[in-house]
Amino acid sequence: MIGRARHFACFLICLTFPPAIVHAQTKTPEPAKPAKTAAAPAESGIDPGAVTNGIYRNKTLALTCKIPPGWVLRTDELNEQSQQKEEEKQGEKKAESSPTPAAAPSAGAKVLLAAFSRPPEARAEDVNSSILIAAESVSAYPGLTEAAQYFFPLIEVAKAQGFFPDEEPYDTAVGTKTLVRGDFHKNVGSRVMRQSTLAMLAHGYVISITVIAGTDDEVEDLIDTLDFIGNKTATGK
């Protein structure tokens, strides 16, 4: 069986849930930096993708995502946070054990796209809608053979963060691809935060696409920005 609450699953939950992002980034708020192309995962040739004219394109996955106007990108910042946390963990392991080098972190897990309706450090009453696309090596989950299994640790960590699944994960079509989707909700005062995560296996990686918004309609609108065939809606033609 797949190991529970793997490192990057925990990190992914923290990335996709705004309260955790706010906590991490309000320590030293900085102006938004120009968007850069994220570094590719180390194990294979997965394209990290790039944003041009408000559209994220990933050649390896044949995926496009139309980013809503006015949204901000935090891909590089989140990858830097992940790397720093992993280096700290590896340093602790080296200090506690023998001089043998520690294992590589999550076999090249990377955030491919992180986009928010406003800077994560900016507080407001409404939900900070977001889109996050990540790639994590299948080898980080011994025994994982299908995307549905990825939700076992994801659901466990989500519950620990106060999010609860609406129902069992189910298959859903996005363009030419069929992914597994899980829907979650969390009550935050008088508001309800809604999250949907879509996952698939590709090129030896678990590809997860997570959207967060304040209503079901807003979640569906964000999912509609995704496309695996580059039709007119996603390409803006």
15, pLDDT greater than 80: no
Scanning the structure block, which residue is given the tokens 């695996």? 228
Residue 95 has what pLDDT?
A: 53
- The mean pLDDT value for 4-16 works out to 48
Going from N- to C-terminal start, the domains of the chain cover: 7-235
Phi, psi of 58 (to 5 degrees): -130, 110
DSSP code per residue over 14-57 = HHHSHHHHHHHHSSS--PPPPP-PPPPPSSS-----EEETTEEE
Distance CA 182, CA 82 (A): 24
Residue 77 pLDDT grade (very low, low, confident, very high; cuts 50, 70, 90): confident
What architecture is domain 7-235?
A: 3-Layer(aba) Sandwich (3.40)
Range with the poorest average pLDDT among 52-56, 163-167, 188-192, 210-214:
188-192
